[in-house]
């Protein structure tokens, strides 16, 4: 298998300092100033996004607002205006759809586009990417960093290399040449802990990582080992999935040893809820139906479902509903398998929250988005619940 297997024409678009850039665009007096979006300096919030001028002071997403103020007391601190950012995101998405229906949003400010079937109409993937950047700049007065490659991993990696206003194309015939000099921390899934493990065995670059065979990586990192083996070779066969293609999102775990303790099951349930909720938000969806599934050692399988009046995507709500469903199933024997599935989707763009919901959930939504971005950039679960740190799966 090599990097050219099932090669597609994939574009990854990542808006530069999105929230802050929108604020600077709408208020020209903020141009060139360190803008920190997240709340007042005396609030207990965290940084959602900071402008590149603010980043020179070491300010980054998920940093406590009071720490950002300590580092940059002369910065401009603004509240999160989610409604405005969602509207701009919708305008960007409309531009994407002019070139392909295969658009997979990861968040308000980034998305994958599969333009494999669009090149006959619009020209090469490079030309399409140029057109996207040009239209975003001309129509919305914003800049985007764009990566073009044969798969999602490479395209996302490329878009991150020359921010802001970056444009990087990875030649399908020079994938390994491109990857080898890069740090292993550039690989999806290599967070701080995994990086430390690799550094301890003198693995620093992607070329170094390729020196380890798949068996060795599996022994060191379990299921992540195979993923590292493939990504070090530029292999990623995941398709771009548009919102309309997603029917359900779920995850289940089969235990090495059957679990009878309810508290342990609830901890596993928390892990599952966080995982499916994160995937739901990556697709910019909300779900109305939650299904819980359990399987006993004799393979008897039970499920319980609940359809809610309002669509949801927050970790805590999904977890609480899952706990309620678990309480409805009599645990007469140890459990072999536990799973959560979300379905009955609604796009976040068409959800109209009530004023009560907006006031209750706005801070949670902002914090959740920031945590998602940190985990996406630095590795899954780099920020997680204290309960899960004591009960790693």
**Residue 298 banded pLDDT, cuts 50, 70, 90:** confident
Give this prediction's pTM.
0.68
**Please, which contacts does 360-368 make with residues 24 or more away whose CB atoms are closer than 8 Å?**
361/314, 362/80, 362/82, 363/45, 364/314, 364/316, 365/82, 365/314, 366/38, 366/45, 366/48, 366/80, 366/82, 367/45, 367/46, 368/281, 368/314, 368/315
**Model pLDDT for residues 251-287, shown as the tens digit of each residue:** 888 887 888 888 889 989 998 998 888 888 877 788 8
**Model pLDDT for residues 205-223, shown as the tens digit of each residue:** 999 999 999 999 988 888 7
Inter-CA distances, 23 with 16, 88, 129, 278, Å: 12, 11, 25, 26
110 in catalytic set: yes
Q: DSSP string spanning 238-299?
A: PPP--GGG--EEEEEEEEEEEE--HHHHHHHHHHHHHHHHHHHHHTTEEEEEEEEEEE-TT-
Place of tokens 């921390």: 185
Tokens of 63: 């940093």
Going 212 to 217 to 219 to 220, the CA torsion angle's sign is positive
Sheet strands side by side (includes 35-37): 49-50, 35-37, 76-78
* CA nearest to 273, candidates 339, 317, 318, 306: 318
**Model pLDDT for residues 55-86, shown as the tens digit of each residue:** 999 998 878 888 999 999 999 999 988 889 98
CA distance linking residue 307 with residue 305, whole number of Å: 7
CA distance linking residue 61 with residue 378, whole number of Å: 12
Delineate the domains of the chain, giving CATH numbers in brackets.
1-168 (3.30.70.270), 180-231 (1.10.150.20), 246-389 (3.30.1490.100)
**Residue 370 banded pLDDT, cuts 50, 70, 90:** low
**Residue 53 banded pLDDT, cuts 50, 70, 90:** very high
pLDDT at position 358, please? 45
**Residue 301 banded pLDDT, cuts 50, 70, 90:** confident
From the candidates 110, 230, 365, 373, give the one annotated as an active-site residue. 110
CA distance linking residue 22 with residue 329, whole number of Å: 48
Backbone angles phi, psi at 192, to 5 degrees: -60, -45
CA distance linking residue 88 with residue 94, whole number of Å: 10
Chain centroid to Cα 292, Å, comes to 24
Most confident of 100-104, 352-356, 380-384: 100-104
Average pLDDT score over residue span 365-391: 53
The residue ranking higher by pLDDT, 332 or 292, is 292
pLDDT at position 67, please? 92
């Amino acid at each position: 298998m090599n990097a050219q297997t099932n090669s597609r024409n994939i574009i990854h678009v990542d808006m530069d300092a999105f929230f802050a850039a929108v604020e600077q665009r709408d208020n020209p007096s903020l141009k060139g100033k360190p803008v920190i979006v997240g709340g007042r300096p005396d609030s207990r919030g965290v940084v959602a996004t900071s402008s590149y001028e603010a980043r020179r002071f070491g300010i980054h997403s998920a940093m406590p607002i009071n720490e950002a103020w300590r580092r940059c007391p002369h910065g401009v601190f603004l509240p999160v205006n989610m409604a405005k950012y969602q509207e701009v995101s919708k305008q960007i998405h409309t531009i994407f759809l002019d070139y392909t229906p295969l658009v997979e949003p990861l968040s308000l400010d980034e998305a994958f586009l599969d333009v494999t079937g669009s090149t006959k109409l619009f020209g090469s993937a490079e030309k399409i990417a140029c057109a996207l950047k040009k239209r975003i700049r001309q129509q919305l007065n914003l800049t985007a960093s764009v990566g073009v490659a044969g798969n999602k991993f490479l395209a996302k990696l490329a878009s991150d290399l020359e921010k802001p206003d970056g444009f990087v194309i990875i030649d399908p015939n020079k994938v390994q040449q491109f990857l080898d000099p890069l740090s292993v921390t550039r690989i999806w899934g290599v967070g701080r802990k995994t990086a430390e493990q690799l550094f301890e065995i003198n693995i620093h670059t992607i070329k170094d990582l390729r020196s380890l065979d798949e068996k060795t990586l599996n022994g060191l990192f379990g299921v992540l080992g195979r993923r590292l083996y493939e990504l070090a070779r530029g292999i990623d066969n995941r398709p771009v999935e548009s919102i309309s293609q997603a029917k359900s999102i779920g995850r289940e775990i089969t235990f090495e040893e059957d679990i009878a303790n309810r508290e342990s099951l609830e901890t596993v349930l928390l892990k599952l809820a966080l995982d499916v909720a994160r995937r739901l938000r990556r697709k910019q969806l909300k779900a109305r139906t939650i299904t819980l599934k359990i399987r006993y050692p004799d393979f008897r399988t039970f499920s319980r479902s609940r359809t809610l009046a309002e669509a949801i995507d927050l970790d805590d709500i999904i977890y609480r509903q899952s706990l309620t469903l678990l309480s409805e199933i009599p645990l007469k024997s140890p459990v072999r398998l536990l799973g959560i599935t979300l379905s009955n989707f609604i796009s976040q763009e068409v959800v109209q929250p009530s004023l009560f919901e907006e006031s209750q959930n706005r801070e949670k939504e902002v914090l959740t988005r920031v945590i998602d971005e940190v985990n996406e950039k630095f590795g899954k679960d780099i920020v997680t619940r204290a309960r899960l740190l004591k009960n790693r799966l």
